Amino acid sequence: MLEYPMLIDQKKLKIKSGDGGEGLISFDNRGKAYGGDGGDGADVVIVGDVNVYDLSKYDSNHIYKAETGERGNTYCKHGKNGETLRLQVPLVTKVFDMEGKEIICIENDKQEFQILSGGKGGLGNFTLRGEGWDGKLSKKRATRGEELCIRLELNLKTDAIFLGYPNAGKSSIINALTRANYKVASYEFTTLEPQLGVMDGYIKLMDLPGLIEGTSKGRGVGTQFLKHTTYSRLLIHCISIENEDLEERYMSMRKEFEKISTSLHSMDELIVLTKADIFTPEEAKVRKEGLEKILGKDVVLVSTYLEDSMNKLNSAIKSKLNSQKH
C-alpha cells in the first residue's frame, strides 16, 4: 500500500533576496580604470506547482536566502547576477504577511509571483571613469536585498471531500478507493488532520476530521480544517448504517454544514451509507431504501469488505464529477 504523510497546511517562513555584488576599483598597467560592476542580487519568487503535495518541505527555522550577486571583476567584467530563488508551493496557497494581510493567492500551476527584489550591483570604477580622477578611485556601493517573514496557508484543491460524524468509516473507505494507508480505529477522531489520496490516478479525494454537533462553535476538532472545502467539487456525506435513526443523523449533519459554510451546504452531495456488512444484505437494502424514500435522494450502500459495493461507489463518484462538466 502507498503511505501518504500527514498533511502540513501552514508554515511561517523567513525569506531574503540576494544582496547586490560590489563594484571593483582596479587599474591596468597604464593606470586606466577597468574595475567591473557587481552583479544584481537574486529575486525571490513564489511558484505554483501541481506536483507539490503540501508545505512539509519547508522549515520554519531556516532562512531562505537568494543568491548574492558576484563582485565585479578586472578587465571591466560584470559580476554574475544571482540566480532567482523559486519557492514551489501547492495549489491553492495563500501568502500572508505577519500582520495577516494577504499578499497573493497562488491558484494555478506555474503561476509566479515575485515577492522580493534582489539588491542592485554596485558600479565599478570603469563605469565611473567619466567623472574624472575621483571617479576612477571610487565605486557606487551595491544595495542590500529585502527581508520578509511570511505565512503560507494551503487550501487544498480536490475533486471530492469525505465528511461525516466521527467513526462513520470515512478513512476505511478512502483507504480502499485510493490504496492509501491511513490509521483506522473504532474510536472517534482517529483522523485528526486532513488526509489526501488519489483514486484511479487522477481523482483527488480528501478525508477531513469527523464533525460533531457544535463543530461550527469550535467543539471537537473545530472548523480549522474546513478551509479545505472551498475548492472541492463534491461532498461525499458518510453515514454509518448502524445508527438507529438514519434520517436524524443525516439532517443534523446537514444543519451543521449550513452553520459552518454556505458554500459547503450548497455543494453537490453524494450520500454514502457505510458499514453495510453489519447487517444481512436484505436488512441493509431495506435501511438504504428507507432512507432514500425519506430524503428523496439516491444513497450508495457500501462496505469495505464488499468489493462490488466499492466499485459502485467509485462509479458514483465519477458520475457525479462528470455531470458537473456539462
Note whether 144 and 174 are same-domain residues. no
Q: What percent of the chain has pLDDT over 70?
A: 86
d(CA 125, CA 140): 8
CATH number, domain with residue 177 = 3.40.50.300
Q: How many domains does the chain have?
A: 2
d(CA 102, CA 94): 7
Note whether 167 and 146 are same-domain residues. no
State mean pLDDT over 174-178: 90
d(CA 249, CA 211): 12
Note whether 151 and 244 are same-domain residues. no
Confidence of residue 214 (pLDDT cuts 50, 70, 90): very low
Burial 219-256 (b: 16+ CB within 10 A, else e): ebbebebbbbbebbbbbbbbbbbebeebeebbeebeeb
What amino acid is encoded at 223 in this protein? T
Q: Does the global pTM surpass 0.85?
A: no
Domain of residue 248: give its range: 160-323
Number of neighbouring beta carbons within 10 Å of residue 134: 8
According to DSSP, the residues that pair with 112 across neighbouring strands are 47
Question: β-pairing, 234-240 with 203-207?
Answer: unpaired
Note whether 146 and 251 are same-domain residues. no
d(CA 289, CA 291): 5
Note whether 15 and 151 are same-domain residues. yes
Q: For 138-158, write each residue's pLDDT tens digit.
A: 678 999 999 999 999 998 888
